[in-house]
Structure formats: C-alpha cells, structure tokens
A and B are shown apart, each in its own frame.
Chain A
Amino acid sequence: MPKTRTIILLLLVPLIILLASGAVSFVGLFDLLLLRPILNFLVLLSGYLFGSFGLAIVVLTIVIRLVTLPLTMRQLHSTRAMQAIQPKIKELQKKYAKDKQRLGEETMKLYKEEGVSPLGCAFPMLVQLPIWIGLYQAVIQGLGIAPENLLGLSKQLYSWAPIQEQVPLNSHFLWLDLGSGDIFMGILVAASMWVLQKMSAPPSADPTQQSMSRMMLWMMPLMFGFFALTFPSGLSLYWLLTNLISIAIQYRVSGWGSLRVPSLSSLREGRILQPASTPQSGDIEAPQLEGAEADSAVSGRKGAVGTGASSPRKKVRSEKHRDKRKVRRRGR
C-alpha cells in the first residue's frame, strides 16, 4: 500500500505543479493524457480493421477490460472481504449503538485488522469514469458529429500518416450510426445490464435489502438504457461490450448467481433466497449468506464466501421442509 501511495504521489505532484503553474490547463491535460491517446489509438486501429471505427471500439473495449482486470479482481476481493466482515460490523453497531464516535473508531480498527479498504469497491468505478469521458469525446470528435468537432479533430490527431489517412472515419457499424443514439442499442444495454445485475446480486433474507435490490435491479438498466438511447451509439457499444465481458467474468467466478433457474429440488429444499443488493457492472460480489445455510444455498456458485451466524428462522423453515419430506417418503 505505501508503494502504491508513493507511485500515486509521484504521478500527482508533477501534474499539480503543471496545473498550478498554468503551463497546461485541466482540459489541455485531459486531452493530452486521455483523449488524444484514446482517439489516436481508435483511429489507428480502425485503419487495421478494414476502416471500421466500430471494430476499433470493440478492440479498445477488450483492451481496457484487460488492463483494468487487476482492478476488477481487486474490487472482487474488497467486496468479498467487506461481505465477510459484515457480521462483525453488525456486532459493533449493536455494541456501540449509542456512541457513534467509538463505533467509527472501532469500525476503522476492524477494517485495518482485516486489511479491508472501504473504498476498494468504488475505486474501479471511479477509474472507469475518465475512460468513459475520454471515449465519449473520442467518439464525438472522431466521427466529427458536429462540424466544430470535425474541425477540432485536426488538433487532436497525431501527425502520423497512418492516422491522418483514416480521416474521415466510417461512422457505420452493423446497423448503427455510431454518432447517433439507437433504440435497439438502448434495449441491448439495458438488457445486458439487467442480466449482470441479476447475476451479481447476492441472496439475502433482509427485507430492506430485498427492496433495495429490486429497485436497483430495474433502475440501473433503465438509466443506462436511457443514456444509450440518447448518447452516441459508439459509447453504447462500449457499454454493451463491457457488460457482456463482465457477465462472462461473473459467470466464470460465481456462475449464474441469482439468474439461475431454480431446480425443483432446490425449491423443495427452500434454498432459493432473494437477492440482497445489486452491485455496479463489473462488481463481483459474494452472497450475503452465513454459515452452513450459505454454503448450502450457494453450492452451485464458485468462490462464494459466507461467514458468521446463520438465520434461526430460515433454519427452522428448512428443518420443517426436511421433516415433511421424510413423512412423504414414509407414506410411499
């Protein structure tokens, strides 16, 4: 961790000096470090991919996902660790319900002891934001959507012949005009987001979490679907591919999750629980199950983690089911 901080400081200090001295503006710095590399990479790629800007976005998305894979995995571990210590946090909340300051201190102490960073889950999302903005502007400027963008493109492109020769870029990909919003793309983004949310939602018996889960299961896809309708579909293409790759990673790590069609036996055994909360795309979270119940309920999922005490109510219900089955078998 100290090493990471040193690296971040080493990167940030010169940037702050440059900004403070007025040598570069924030926009200029953004263009230099993010927009221009993304844009030129896309333009160069499209040259090698039959002049297709859409294919270039596909390849760029895969590259970005590969580059951010360590972050995604780190987020996975952070989320898992955070889930694992939830029972301990609940205990602390009960113990120090009347002393907020002490609760805060003890919680931070617990995070330190367990090696958990509360911001570990949010960091990958924040890292993706500049990439979104960079790609968004790259699509807008690259395709010269407004005449001002086309004229401004000359400023952003490197003067290498293989890049310059690609202008103007082909804005058509499959059925899409990459510079305009697309209704079908909106539906695809929303659907893939829903699948991802459903897959990554950990089961829970907590009614508050269930209601939050239901809200987010629909809110996130609808929100992204709306943005995909109105944003240039080049950016929606990036979102769709990101979702599909996230679904693949999610499947690889923890199976179909809450999306799994419940088997008859599992229904009989009462092992299906409601999703608890819906993480953002790319989040890979462990179910919020506890103890033996958790192990049983997530038997089909790989890498699921559950700790702490089990719910007595559910245990009783499960035992009742078992007793009924025994009675039926005897009857036969």
Chain B
Amino acid sequence: MFDIKRVRSTKPIVIAILLAILALSGCIGPRGWPGVVAIGDTVFVGSMDGSLFRLEVSARLKDKDGDRLSKADGEWVWEPEAGPGGSIFSCGQVGQFSTGALYGPPAVGNATVRNETVEAVFIGAYTGKVYAITQYGDDVWDEPFETGGSIVGGVAVANDTLFVGSSDGKLYAVDVSTGRAKRGFDPYPTGDKIVSTPVVQDGVVYFGSLDQKFYAIDADTGELKWDKPFKTGGGIGSKPLVVNGVVYFGSFDSKFYAVNAETGTQEWVFGEAGNWFWAQALYHDGIIYACSLDHNVYAIDADGGELASEWHTNPFPTVGKIRSSPAIVGDVLVVASEVDKEKAKVYGIDLENGEEKWQHELKSSILAPLSAAGGKVYVNSRRDNTVYAFDGETGRQDWSIPLGKVE
C-alpha cells in the first residue's frame, strides 16, 4: 500500500542510489593509451597499469617462444611510484582508478649519469611527471620532473633536452642529465591544454595546443620563432610532421595544414575530411598520408595539397575512426581503425596504389601510435593490454605478449 510517509523516509536513499548510478554512468576515467616504440630489436612499451616494459624481439624469436610470459635476457619492467588516490566520482582527475596512466609513447635518447653517457628511455605520465629510465630499468634522476598538469602527449628529446607539453597549457624543457628545468628556458604558455607530442627539428620545437594555435619556438631560448602562432579553426591534438622545411598537422576543424617551418605562413590547406585529425601524418615519396576520424586515410600531394593521383585521388576507407598514428613498413602503410569499443582492424595498404594488402582484426581498441622497425609493426592494444608484432608485408602475427601477465 502507498504511504506518503514511507516514500519521504526512503527518498534520501533513493536519491543516493540515483546519484551513485549517475556518478558511475559517465565515469570513463583516464585509463591511458600507452604507446610502443621499437629501436632495432628492442621494444619499449607502456602497459595499462602505468608500467614500462623493455622487450627483446630477437631473444623471443630465437627461443621460438614469442608468446612467453617470462622475461628474456635484457628485458625488464619498470614500475612508477604510486600516484595520488582519487574518488570514484572525480572522473578525469589525476589519480582516478590508476596510479599513473600512460598516454604518450616513450622516447629513447641519451642521458649523462655520473659523467657517463647512457641510453635512456623517457616517458611522461598522466600524473604530470616525467621519468628517465636507464637501459637496465633504473631511474636516471633522483626525482621525476613534475609539470603543472597531466601529460597526455609524448615527449621529444634532442641535444640533452627533453620537451613535453602539459595540460596546464605549458611546454616544458628539461635538462636530461639532471632532470631539472632547463636554464634559460621558461615554460612556454599557451591558451589551453597541450595534448600533442612536440617535434624538434633544427633547433626549433613544433607543437600544437588545444587553444587552436600551432607554435614554433626556439629550443634554446623558448621564444616564439614566428611572428605569431599559426591559427586554425579547431584544437590541435596531433603530433606534427616536419619534412623539407614544411610542417604538416591536422586540426579539430577537420582540416589538414601545411605551414612553412621558417615563416609560419600557410602553404596549403586540405579541407575534404569530415571529422577531426588526431593521428600524426606520415610522409613517403612526396605524399603525405593523413588519417582522419572520418574513417578515411588521405594520400595528399605534399607540394600542392590535393589528393594524390597515385591513389586515384581517392581516400582509403576503413571501418571506423582512426585514432592511432599509422606506421610505414617497406611499401606498406599500416593503419589501425576502430570497429567498435571492443574491436579494431589493422590494415596493410599498398603505398603505390592505395589498395588493401591485408587486414587483421583484434579484439581491442587501439589508440596508441603504431611503431615500425625491422620489417615489423608493433601494436599496443588497450583492452587486453597486449603488445602484438605483425609482419609488415604480409600482416602475419609474429607474436603477442599480454603485459599484465609477464612474470
């Protein structure tokens, strides 16, 4: 029987339950899309729990046990310090669900430890900290370098300096030997978060910001190289590509830009895409390959900005949004496209004519950039936290390793 008193007394409980449903309904939270980078036979790959792995491909193939879960010689797992805890309601804030989600791929460079130059891996975490790890898996710096916001893009290393963009809107320069802010380089402020990975070329750092502007700053002084930043019609999240004095990048305004690296003036703009550009473009033999969230791969003439005749002026259609940056292996362009939240398709596209050479379906979403080395392409899949190695020419899977199960 209905009793108004009873309804009133249970109201707070009902509302509390409804609010809890509300809280959990939208909590995707920062889980990360850790990247992979291959240098020769060595692969550095981040895992979904914020750890970094060094894998030795040759050791795995020699043992004919590519799928092994025990570590091979020279392999290690580095784990970050625990990050701040977070409330389940604080969606998107640092510390939720994960101690330090990784987004950008690691970068490999050199660092000086006790007057000795060693190979080091650098990685930025969502906690806003940048770490340097030696080739043996030890920390290079006493303390990680801390930025004022979360780090979503990758890092760039050149001439003993590491550059990283942060969600506090600033680009930081770090001395790789000491792990401290580079002297004479004040963090460069932009109008919004920086989620793109910077690129350093000829003493200039190129990067985009969500403030819809693209910047070129002097790597030594931190001063703007151009008269003013290059303005687009949308946020810029993609890593730029610098080739032959031209910077190429896409924007959230669904346009792809070519800008003179020296002057910051527009060379051309490609406006035929139907959604954002998020992934980094690639260059091969006079053609720019740009992937859009409109499901298409565009082959654009690097000089004129028109669709390339090699691909019969047609884009290559994939099954879904292309969020991860592609890779080139020989004459094959490898692209990962989203089927749905639980599946992705990896395509091998013939660079010569834009025809599909192979495709492979994975039961996971792929958001991190692909990496290619030694004729292989490495894919770090998100859902199953597994790194896959494919033969670039045939698409055959060489091996896979679930990172969460490595002993």
Contacts and interface: CB of A to CB of B under 8 A. Distances in A.
Of the listed residues B16, B211, B274, the one surrounded by the most CB atoms of chain A closer than 10 A to its CB is B16
Contacts of B90: 180-181, 230
B182 interface: no
Interface in B54-87: 87
A34 to B, nearest CB: 11
Contacts of A154: 252, 275-276, 278, 293, 321
Given A154-B321, A230-B87, A164 B22 contact: no
Contacts of A133: 21-22, 25-26
A86 interface: yes
A180 B8 contact: no
Interface in B289-324: 293, 321, 323
B23 A168 contact: no
B15 A232 contact: no
Contacts of B367: 151
B268 to A, nearest CB: 20
Contacts, number: 127
B213 to A, nearest CB: 12
Contacts of B23: 136, 227, 231
Interface residues of B, number: 52
Contacts of A220: 12, 15
A148 B30 contact: yes
A151 B278 contact: yes
B11 to A, nearest CB: 6
Interface stretch (A2-10, A64-72, A249-257, A277-285): A277-285
Contacts of B33: 147-148
B42 interface: no
B11 A216 contact: yes
A83 B93 CA distance: 45
A180 B93 contact: yes
Interface in B201-248: 210-211, 233-235, 237
A72 to B, nearest CB: 16
Given A136-B25, A147-B103, A155-B321, A223 B254 contact: no
Q: How large is the interface on A (under 10, 10 to 19, 20 to 34, 35 or more residues)?
A: 35 or more
B15 A280 contact: yes
A168 B192 contact: yes
A129 interface: yes
A100 interface: yes
Interface in B270-285: 274-276, 278
B210 A168 contact: yes
Nearest to B1: A104
Nearest to A116: B2
Contacts of A227: 19, 23, 89
Given A129-B18, A147-B30, A230-B90, A212 B195 contact: no
B7 A168 contact: no
B195 A150 contact: yes
Contact of A147 (B22, B195, B275): B195
Nearest to A138: B26
A90 to B, nearest CB: 11
B8 A216 contact: yes
B92 A145 contact: yes
Interface in A270-304: 277-280
Interface string A143-159: 00111111110110001
A179 B92 contact: yes
A149 B192 contact: no
B31 to A, nearest CB: 7
A140 B234 contact: no
A140 B22 contact: no
A214 B387 CA distance: 58
Contacts of B237: 150
Contacts of A181: 89-90
A103 B16 contact: no
Interface string A224-252: 00010011100000000000000000000
A140 B91 contact: yes
Contacts of B253: 164-165
Most buried by B among A103, A118, A220, A231: A231
Interface of B: 1-2, 4-5, 7-9, 11-12, 15-16, 18-19, 21-23, 25-26, 28-31, 33, 87, 89-93, 103, 126, 152, 192-193, 195, 210-211, 233-235, 237, 252-254, 274-276, 278, 293, 321, 323, 367
Given A121-B4, A164-B234, A168-B210, 20 more contacts: A118-B2, A121-B7, A125-B15, A129-B18, A129-B21, A133-B25, A137-B26, A146-B30, A146-B92, A147-B30, A151-B278, A154-B293, A154-B321, A159-B275, A164-B253, A165-B253, A168-B192, A168-B211, A232-B91, A280-B11
12 contacts: A121-B4, A137-B25, A148-B31, A149-B28, A150-B237, A159-B274, A165-B234, A167-B235, A168-B210, A168-B211, A181-B89, A223-B12
